[in-house]
């Protein structure tokens, strides 16, 4: 029998309205089959474990990610797939982080959540949970998993975890993938786009990673950006990595102070990764003068990466103890399907 482990970290999905007080309270996922009897219709073995206490995903951090990696790696052999219930706010960061921390993954890790608590009538949580479990347990005829990677199931979309972005604070259709096709669409049937799913490797051995380095910043350019503030930030000695959100295809104002500050930072061993502020498309620094100037400062391309994937990739690579040169090299490699080269 297929075995699925449900990991409840917190977030709206796990809440119900206390009939006495009207307040939203956390639901006991250890009793998930009592609360959602529909799950019994699956012919599978379902266990659950809960973060104690459950957390709003705004409080997610690398310590919680490594807790998730520990739960998945400790239970890896006993289960065919994992469903992680998570608040929507930072779900794309967690999915991206897990895609790097779970090296050699060859089983499904499906994150899901909801906009409306599971214990309320119009919840989207039940449908999301049921579809996530179905995807985590789906196999090919030869018994290999359908989706052997970290992904997010939300509404009708299955998205590679490190390609997802939360795009709506109130729509049920809350996540999008701008630069990579959907892995599946949940309609009457679950329609898998098999050619876009990472291939299953029967010889892969899970190598969990637990360290993330958080000496990073994300900063966005805007017209009129102040030299003194940017220089102070870039000159901060403990800063190791910067995600620079530039204009269009990777362009920045042609100011000498900016080029000088970026050059100083890269020469002192900081890794600066250029990603676009546009929701879709890729950085091509060679396209305009304003991008070529950035290239000459030592800034590297983040290609078509999301903010979530690029920052967690930097955290992961520095967390591995790599030198800035090694980090720069790895940022140019596709580690878990996060960039298109
Ligand atoms: N603030 C909540 C969270 O991200 C929202 C949600 O679950 O959707 O944990």
The per-residue pLDDT for range 98-148, each reduced to its tens digit, is 999 999 999 999 999 999 988 788 999 999 999 999 999 999 999 999 999
pLDDT at 272 over 90: yes
Q: Whose CA is nearest to atom 3 of ligand 1?
A: 87
Residue of the CA atom closest to atom 6 of ligand 1: 87
Confirm or reject: Cβ of 89 under 6 Å from ligand 1.
Answer: yes
Q: Where in the chain is the domain with CATH 3.40.50.1170?
A: 2-208
pLDDT of residue 175: 97
Is the CB–ligand 1 distance for residue 113 below 6 Å?
Answer: yes
SS3 state of residue 290: helix
Q: What percent of the chain has pLDDT over 90?
A: 82
- Strand 157-160 and strand 150-154: the pairing is antiparallel
Q: Give the pair of three-digit tokens for residue 47.
A: 């266990």
Residue 324 pLDDT more than 90?
A: yes
- Measuring CA to CA, how many Å separate 307 from each of 11, 75, 134, 191, 223? 22, 30, 29, 28, 20
**CATH number, domain 2-208, options 3.30.429.10, 3.40.50.1170, 3.65.10.10, 3.90.1210.10:** 3.40.50.1170
Ligand 1 pocket mutation, candidates 27, 85, 88, 112, criterion most atoms within 8 A of CB: 88
Question: b/e map of 231-248 (b: 16 or more CB within 10 Å)?
Answer: beebeeeebbbbbbbbbb
Is the Cβ atom of 88 under 6 angstroms away from ligand 1? yes
If we measure between CA atoms, which residue out of 142, 67, 129, 76 comes closest to residue 106? 76
Active-site annotation holds for 112: no
Q: How far, in Å, is the centroid of ligand 1 from the Cα of 137?
A: 25
For the chain, give percent helix, strand, coil, nearest 5: 30, 20, 45
- Percentage of the chain lying above the pLDDT 70 cut: 100
- Examine the pLDDT at 292 and tell me if it is beyond 90: no
Name the catalytic one among 12, 90, 131, 297. Answer: 12
pLDDT in tens, 60-82: 999 999 999 999 999 999 999 99
CA–centroid distance, 82 to ligand 1, in Å, is: 20
* pLDDT over threshold 90, residue 158: yes
Say if residues 335 and 96 touch (Cβ distance below 8 Å): no
The residues, ordered by sequence, that sit 6+ positions from 212 with a Cβ below 8 Å of its Cβ are 62, 65, 66, 97, 101, 312, 315, 316, 319
Ligand 1 contacts CB of residue 94 (under 6 A): no
Please provide residue 3's backbone torsions phi and psi, each rounded to the nearest 5 degrees: -115, 130
Q: Output the CA 231–ligand 1 centroid distance in Å.
A: 35
CB 68 within 8 A of CB 94: yes
DSSP H or E segment with residue 274: strand 271-276
Q: Has residue 92 got a pLDDT over 90? A: yes
CATH 3.40.50.40 domain span(s) along the chain = 216-331
User: pTM for this structure?
Assistant: 0.96
Would the pLDDT of 291 be above 80? no
> From ligand 1's centre to the CA of 289, what distance in Å?
42
Query: In which residue are the tokens 């966005």 written?
Result: 220
pLDDT at 257: 96
For the structural domain made of 216-331, what CATH number should be given? 3.40.50.40
How confident is the model over 174-222, as pLDDT tens digits?
999 999 999 999 999 999 999 999 999 999 999 999 999 999 999 999 9
The answer to whether the Cα torsion of 227, 232, 237, 240 is positive or negative is negative
Q: What is the mean pLDDT of the chain?
A: 94
* Max avg pLDDT among 30-34, 48-52, 285-289, 310-314: 310-314
């Amino acid at each position: 029998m297929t075995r699925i482990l449900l990991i409840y970290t917190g977030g709206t999905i796990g809440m119900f309205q206390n009939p006495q007080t009207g307040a939203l309270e956390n639901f006991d996922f250890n009793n998930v089959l009592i609360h959602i009897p529909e799950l019994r219709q699956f012919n599978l073995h379902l266990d659950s474990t809960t973060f104690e206490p459950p957390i709003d995903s705004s409080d997610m951090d690398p310590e919680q990610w490594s807790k998730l990696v520990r739960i998945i790696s400790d239970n890896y052999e006993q289960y065919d797939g994992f469903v992680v219930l998570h608040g929507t706010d930072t779900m794309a960061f967690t999915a991206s982080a897990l895609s790097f921390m779970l090296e050699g993954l060859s089983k499904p890790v499906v994150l899901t959540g909801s906009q409306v608590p599971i214990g309320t009538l119009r919840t989207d949580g039940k449908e999301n949970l049921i579809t996530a479990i179905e995807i985590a347990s789906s196999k090919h005829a030869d018994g290999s998993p359908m989706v052997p990677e970290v992904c997010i199931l939300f509404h009708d979309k299955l998205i590679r975890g490190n390609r997802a972005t939360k795009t709506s604070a109130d729509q049920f259709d809350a996540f999008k993938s701008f630069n990579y096709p959907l892995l599946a669409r949940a309609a009457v049937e679950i329609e898998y786009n098999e050619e876009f799913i990472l291939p299953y490797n029967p010889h892969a051995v899970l190598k969990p990673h637990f360290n993330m380095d958080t000496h990073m910043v994300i900063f966005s350019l805007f017209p009129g950006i102040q030299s003194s503030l940017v220089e102070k930030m870039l000159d901060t000695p403990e800063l190791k990595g910067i995600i620079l959100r530039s204009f269009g295809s990777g362009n920045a104002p042609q100011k000498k102070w900016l080029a000088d500050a970026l050059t100083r930072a890269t020469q002192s061993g900081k890794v600066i990764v250029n990603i676009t502020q546009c929701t879709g498309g890729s950085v091509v620094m060679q396209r305009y003068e304003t991008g070529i100037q950035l290239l000459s400062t030592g800034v590297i391309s983040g290609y078509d990466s999301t903010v979530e994937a690029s920052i967690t990739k930097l955290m992961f690579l520095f967390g591995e103890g790599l030198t800035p040169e090694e980090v720069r090299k790895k940022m140019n490699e596709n580690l878990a399907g996060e960039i298109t080269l």
